[in-house]
Structure 1
């Protein structure tokens, strides 16, 4: 019970912060939908394949590796080694972020014209990639904090980010909306302000509290920087390749959806509008209950890693089984709620009938979506990154096949079919592997 209490407390803190930030985010999306419209939201969403590619290349894998290493070093009583790993991760992240941001900023015209097929995305993409170094450093510190069991910093940072984002969007919409190159630029400005404010809060908090770590290093327990760097790279590179492969497939998918919808509807504006409804209105509602599963995943990864390092098989099984049962119950409850309330949600929040129809269809994804997420986290904590990479890749290939060959024939229903089948496969494959391992 003593082992469970900090884990439960941290999960509750992250869940509350995620819940509050999602509520603020919903207000933001509703405000944006009324201010700039579904088509401009679609343009805003189109930059995310490139933006999230930066996450994968620059820091996502190394953040997970840092969290895992920190949990293991804390369990061994050598937190100084974890702090050194944090500094190494920040240095590596900053170098990668500057290179990626420079490349995307310079070639933004070609990226948006050739790959995204939307020249209006150029100013949005250029501003978004300038924020990547701030996001990278912030996420590294969050990974370290979660590794040592401190969930307050990521939680407060997340809430502050959303409050700053919404406030800045509201103020900019009053004073500067007419001077912006495209209406979607308003949403990117809000995102940039939120990330920068969150960055400064995280860095200042860490600098003020880094010397008050309650876990002291064992006397004589020292680890060389070279060995720590090797450990970080040996774990972080496979995780980065995993994230990169999955993100590349997701990016291809996001770029292809509007193109294939255009083949079915024959109208570019209509295609981007439907993409905006799906990605900017429907999916955020479907993912709303994942505030709990995301918090659970963030706290669970270092817990699984520490249990594995201590060879505590009984506690390891308990850490795996109970979250799966919880996510299954949550998914079934979300399915029922969204299926019943979908038409009301679409009309009340967005005044959009299609939003309600799409939300009802996607509600069947909830049990598989939430369970597959937690299963992937458990497998990553056990070091089975190659398996999660394979499962995620196959799942995304299924989606891409449906996008390429089914959407041009059946429209958006083809997208729903591919999403459902890929989620079903991912959940089955992750569960099958976990059952073999545990």
Structure 2
């Protein structure tokens, strides 16, 4: 009996885990909406421009580089070099995370008052950045696991994280919510508990796997440590700059949206509330089918890298085209589902007709949103990181222009128009570039 492809098995495992975690996440969003309200969800969402900037600066680019290098080393039988890159990446990530966390923790009041325009975000932001070193180390190990086609660890870690997050939020809401500095702090506490539990699970697995691998393999590093380190930096630094640039533009965008909504509505509370409905309720539903595309992207990057290493053009083309066709059909199906059921979803889950209205408007994004993420992964796997940086940056600049000039005149509709146009542009230029290289 023929054994199933590790790529297919890994994608299925990650898809199921993402699906499970998203379902729990939806319950969590619905529960939080009832406990703390849309305004406090908006405050919770406001910390993410800074928090995700830490991801980009500290480990996101190096995690992708680690996964790509690991896949290439595994394809050539030099797994010890990949394990050495993992150790170097963890040390580098830990140093960057500590520096970033200390800086943000110390200047949290200034950041929240000057940039976020919401002083009540201070305790939320301080707690969130304290967990970054744990998240960084965990993501490095996950990158290594995906490179060796072991998707089980990231999958179980994600499920465990969500279960821990929701359980802790429920318990804290029963016993501790009155003692919270702001209600949104409840959501950040749950996030922190989930990340730490997930970190310890991942760390325990890694040491058990390392001990088992050491007992089975006595081979030595077949390349010099300096050359391996140089390979990590040469790939990781451009990817980090890519992630940083894109995340910085996304952060600017997230900070500007409530400010521009305030210009349109003239009410700060209403502006943050609408931002919470849009980013904390409607967008997570739109991104739900991306559980599949995210899993596919995580497994596809090392697959594309390995195919390129083996110099097999026909196999490389199959690896690129088949996932793209799948994502196109997925996006069309999601568009139809959200367009028809959007108003019902908003009323049934959140008892908010505005959420349903935004879901119907956002449904037009689905085909372009899912395809562009896969196309970006293919380009990264091909080593075209400069192209992905350029394309993503231009796409985000388009969004920011609409935020600055369209939202004050047309409200949320101005943002939705910019989002659609930028997704259309990103999908087109990514597709054009991929077709030139596969």
Instruction: Report matched runs for 1:38-53 at 5 Å.
Output: 38-53=38-53
Q: Which residue of 1 aligns with 2:96?
A: 96
Q: Which residue of 2 aligns with 1:381?
A: 381
Q: CA deviation at 1:220?
A: 6.6
Count of aligned positions:
438
Q: Which residue of 2 aligns with 1:340?
A: 340
Aligned CA distance change for structure 1 residues 236 and 215 (closer, same or farther; 3 Å): farther
Indicate yes or no: 2:235 matched with 1:246: no
Q: Which residue of 2 aligns with 1:132?
A: 132
Secondary structure in 2 matching 1:246: helix
Q: CA deviation at 1:210?
A: 1.8
Q: CA deviation at 1:212?
A: 3.0
Verify the 8 A CA contact 1:65 1:239 in the aligned structure 2: yes
* 2-structure distance, mates of 1:43, 1:110: 16
CA deviations 1:275-305 (Å, max 9, x no partner) are: 0001000000000000000000000000000
39-48 or 226-235, larger mean C-alpha shift:
226-235
Indicate yes or no: 2:167 matched with 1:170: no
Q: CA deviation at 1:226?
A: 1.2
Q: Which residue of 1 aligns with 2:315?
A: 315
Verify the 8 A CA contact 1:79 1:215 in the aligned structure 2: no
Verify the 8 A CA contact 1:21 1:162 in the aligned structure 2: yes
Verify the 8 A CA contact 2:80 2:221 in the aligned structure 1: no
Verify the 8 A CA contact 1:362 1:416 in the aligned structure 2: yes
Aligned CA distance change for structure 1 residues 290 and 161 (closer, same or farther; 3 Å): same
Q: CA deviation at 1:225?
A: 1.7
Q: Which residue of 1 aligns with 2:369?
A: 369
Q: CA deviation at 1:224?
A: 1.9
Q: Which residue of 2 aligns with 1:160?
A: 160
208-217 or 423-432, larger mean C-alpha shift:
208-217
* 2-structure distance, mates of 1:219, 1:135: 31
Q: CA deviation at 1:436?
A: 1.1
CA deviations 1:372-429 (Å, max 9, x no partner) are: 0000000000000000000000000000000000000000000000000000000000
Instruction: Report matched runs for 1:1-400 at 5 Å.
Output: 5-213=5-213, 222-400=222-400
Aligned CA distance change for structure 1 residues 215 and 75 (closer, same or farther; 3 Å): farther
CA deviations 1:122-151 (Å, max 9, x no partner) are: 000000000000000000000000000000
Q: Which residue of 2 aligns with 1:404?
A: 404
* 2-structure distance, mates of 1:213, 1:278: 47
* 1-structure distance, mates of 2:16, 2:212: 25
Verify the 8 A CA contact 1:74 1:215 in the aligned structure 2: no
Verify the 8 A CA contact 1:246 1:389 in the aligned structure 2: yes
* 2-structure distance, mates of 1:59, 1:219: 29
Q: CA deviation at 1:313?
A: 1.1
Verify the 8 A CA contact 2:62 2:237 in the aligned structure 1: yes
TM-score computed with the length of structure 2 as normaliser: 0.98
Aligned CA distance change for structure 1 residues 273 and 73 (closer, same or farther; 3 Å): same
Q: CA deviation at 1:221?
A: 5.6
Secondary structure in 1 matching 2:5: helix
Verify the 8 A CA contact 1:77 1:216 in the aligned structure 2: no
Q: CA deviation at 1:81?
A: 0.7
TM-score computed with the length of structure 1 as normaliser: 0.98
Gaps of 5+ in 1: none
Verify the 8 A CA contact 1:77 1:215 in the aligned structure 2: no
Q: CA deviation at 1:213?
A: 4.0
* 1-structure distance, mates of 2:429, 2:214: 40
* 1-structure distance, mates of 2:436, 2:399: 26
Q: CA deviation at 1:211?
A: 3.3
* 2-structure distance, mates of 1:188, 1:386: 34
* 2-structure distance, mates of 1:404, 1:2: 56
* 2-structure distance, mates of 1:2, 1:243: 40
Q: CA deviation at 1:216?
A: 7.3
* 2-structure distance, mates of 1:301, 1:17: 19
211-220 or 95-104, larger mean C-alpha shift:
211-220
Q: CA deviation at 1:228?
A: 1.2
